[in-house]
Amino acid sequence: MIATTPFHERLDQLNETRLWGHWSGYLSATRYYSSAKHEYFAVRNSAGFFDTSPLYKYRITGRDAERLLAGVMTRDIRHCRPGKAQYTVWCDDRGFVLEDGVVFRHSEDEFLLTAAEPNLGYFSDLVGRLDVSIEDVTDEFGMLAVQGPRSREILGKVAPGVEELGYFEHTEAKIGATPVTVSRTGYTGDLGFEIRVARDDALPVLDAVIEAGEGHGLRPFGEQALLMARIEAGLALIGVEFSSSRFAHTDHERVTPKELGFGWMLRGIDDETRPFIGRGAIRRELAGRTSRWATVGLLLDWADYDRVHEAAGLVPPKDETPVEDEFMLYDDDGARIGYSTSQMYSPMLQRHIAIARVRPDHAAFGTRVGYELTINHEYQTIAAAVTRLPFFNPARKTA
């Protein structure tokens, strides 16, 4: 049976296309209007709201809650004070990524973990004799992401004080008489916030946000616009940029944090007081420089792109629809050196961009690679250049 989120009643009224997808057993809007680009530009130029309720949510409490998380998560949760959150990953004992998620710390012994995939059984099996309780509270809350340059002003009208939140901070607040948790987080790579609210109070909170957004260009956005934004932001998506090691058939489908571009999460890995799962394997990878891949951005050469399409008698397409599939990459000698995982035409950059995995010796910024396309059922290779991720990184995101 397909479930609906706490916000569905109102979102169903707003969805002009009637297009719905399935996300973790819930209905989730693909897009609300005839063009996902309009929703995307709301996020980039004004503000949009997205229903993130289907994310799995786990409340982790108890005297040893920090100890459990410190022994599992790649990032050191001990440095995350109450009122802060961390984006992190957790790995198997061979150092391959299992999942990613965000940990919100509410107190010394209370945390909330959000993740795209179910993980209750995995974490419960690790508790052992620790004084830790793990509850699946996914159905108890609605989560609403309000994203874009005007999101701070809009939320400040309904929850005064939240406009002072720093990047990846969260606080308890009220919207009207309703208690909520507001965090400075999101999946668009832009200024943004997320609201967590009890299921029964979700609709009044959504209505208040919509009313506050009048005159600010606020509109709902669906999964297509979200995926456009996340590619520009260089954000990894499970099932696309990486597969969970838990379900991978071979090591070709597995990836380490370093290979995924998360080397920054490994600061402090030599701290002997925190032997988290996979630490030994990751340390050996770093010491031996045995990473098979590096995750980079690619900018496709627009002139070369136009040339091969025009030579085939085609108008060069500038399609913003995200394509989440592998396109092969080659060096000057025609040897395969990697593959892209996500690609699109960026409306903000006016360029074709891709998130890619390349051999480390081809990961230097500016390196030229050959990008394979299929045109009229034939393989064509066009020029592309390695660039830094994220592609779009406005100062307002963290300011």
User: Quick one: 345 and 327 in the same domain?
Assistant: yes
Host domain of residue 199: 8-52+139-221
Token pair recorded at residue 115: 């993740």
**Tens-place pLDDT, residues 112-149:** 999 999 999 999 999 999 999 999 999 999 999 999 99
Residue 224 near residue 321, CB atoms below 8 Å: yes
DSSP letter (8 states) at residue 128: T
Helix (H) or strand (E) holding 195: strand 192-198
Structural domain ending residue among the three candidates 201, 221, 241: 221
* Residue 299's CATH number: 2.40.30.110
Q: 239 in a domain, yes or no?
A: no
**Tens-place pLDDT, residues 242-293:** 999 999 999 999 999 999 999 999 999 999 999 999 999 999 999 999 999 9
Q: What are phi and psi of 218, to 5 degrees?
A: -70, 135
Q: 162 in a domain, yes or no?
A: yes
User: Quick one: 307 and 381 in the same domain?
Assistant: yes
- Mean pLDDT over each residue of the chain, to the nearest integer: 97
Q: 236 in a domain, yes or no?
A: no
pLDDT band at 1 (very low <50, low <70, confident <90, very high): confident
* Residue 36's CATH number: 3.30.1360.120
Count of residues in the chain? 399
Between CA 375 and CA 294 the distance in angstroms is: 28
User: Quick one: 44 and 143 in the same domain?
Assistant: yes
Residue 196 near residue 152, CB atoms below 8 Å: no
Q: What is the predicted pLDDT for the residue at 157? A: 97
Between CA 383 and CA 302 the distance in angstroms is: 9
Token pair recorded at residue 59: 């409340």
Q: 209 in a domain, yes or no?
A: yes
Token pair recorded at residue 273: 């007081």
* Residue 115's CATH number: 3.30.70.1400
Instruction: Give the number of domains in the chain.
Output: 3
Residue 193 reports pLDDT greater than 80: yes
User: Quick one: 33 and 166 in the same domain?
Assistant: yes
User: Quick one: 190 and 330 in the same domain?
Assistant: no
Token pair recorded at residue 181: 């948790």
Structural domain ending residue among the three candidates 244, 275, 291: 291
User: Quick one: 18 and 85 in the same domain?
Assistant: no
Q: What is the predicted pLDDT for the residue at 228? A: 98
Strand partners, 49: 146, 220
Q: 251 in a domain, yes or no?
A: no
Q: What is the predicted pLDDT for the residue at 117? A: 96
What is the arithmetic mean of pLDDT over 328-346?
Answer: 97
User: Quick one: 119 and 143 in the same domain?
Assistant: no
**Tens-place pLDDT, residues 287-316:** 999 999 999 999 999 999 999 999 999 999
**CA of residue 49 relative to chain centroid, distance:** 16
Token pair recorded at residue 11: 């979102």
Q: 272 in a domain, yes or no?
A: yes
What is the arithmetic mean of pLDDT over 214-229?
Answer: 98
User: Quick one: 89 and 115 in the same domain?
Assistant: yes
DSSP letter (8 states) at residue 317: P
Q: What is the predicted pLDDT for the residue at 2? A: 86
User: Quick one: 334 and 377 in the same domain?
Assistant: yes
Structural domain ending residue among the three candidates 291, 315, 342: 291
User: Quick one: 26 and 166 in the same domain?
Assistant: yes
pTM listed for this prediction: 0.96
User: Quick one: 48 and 144 in the same domain?
Assistant: yes
Q: 235 in a domain, yes or no?
A: no
User: Quick one: 160 and 207 in the same domain?
Assistant: yes
